Copies of this chain bind each other. A is one copy, B any other.
Amino acid sequence: MRESRQQVGQDTAVEFYFDFLSPFGWIGAERIGAIARRFGRRVVWRPFLLKATVRDAMGLPPPLETPLKGAYLRRDIPRSLRLHGLSLSPQARFGFSSVDAARAVIWVRDRSGDALTEALVLSLYRAHWSQARDISERTTILDVAEPLGLGRDDLAAALADPQVKDALRRETERAIRNGVFGSPTIAVEDELFWGSDRLGMVETWLKTGGW
């Protein structure tokens, strides 16, 4: 038996590991905030680079370029998004560079509150996948962030800041060190749940403290 929810402590965070590259990360991002709040938890938003886990650490090809799995995913992604009320733009770009979008999130997370971080994550996800605004472009990121009150000049400077670049590198190394390899992965204490399909399991874990 694991320790009960009471023993775990209500203020412990749920960590949400994701890469904007992953539409399944979008499903998770849309839902994790409400799930965590229901159990008195905050969410720590942890962008990382899937290429570093899938290609470099695991030695695998990109899932969309993997025989059989690629064809399955091309059909499953729009279907899974639809089931969660999210619509995929036919023009949305796959396999883009999510590096700057990830840096933007880390910069906001480390200097602002959870609410603004969550709003930025969701705005970037929706812009890219639902509105086909390519968030590999810095100007798109600035356009998406501006209505949230994030100044263009400050954010542009942050995206070019070597310390912010380092922070993303460290986040990715930390993800790998903690066993994370796919997006989304939710960590509840040291228990990892990989995949948007596992949000129900995350809820059960938060409710029961484990089984």
Binding site for B on A (CB under 8 A): 53, 57-61, 66-69, 71-72, 75-76, 79-80, 82-83, 176, 179-182, 192, 194-195, 197-198, 200-201, 204, 211
Contact = CB atoms under 8 A, between A and B. Distances in A.
A110 B1 CA distance: 44
Tallying the copies of this chain within the complex gives: 2
17 contacts: A58-B67, A58-B68, A58-B69, A60-B66, A68-B176, A68-B179, A69-B181, A71-B179, A72-B192, A72-B194, A79-B211, A83-B201, A83-B204, A83-B211, A195-B197, A197-B197, A200-B200
Contacts of A182: 69
A199 B57 CA distance: 31
A198 B59 CA distance: 27
Nearest to A67: B58
B197 A72 contact: no
Nearest to A198: B197
Contacts of A195: 197
Given A58-B66, A67-B181, A75-B192, 17 more contacts: A57-B67, A58-B68, A58-B69, A59-B67, A68-B179, A69-B181, A69-B182, A71-B179, A72-B181, A72-B194, A76-B192, A76-B194, A80-B201, A82-B211, A83-B204, A195-B197, A197-B197
Contacts of A201: 80, 83
Contacts of A82: 211
Contact of A181 (B57, B60, B68, B198): B68
Nearest to A193: B76
Q: A-B pairs with the 4 shortest C-beta distances?
A: A197-B197, A68-B181, A58-B67, A58-B66
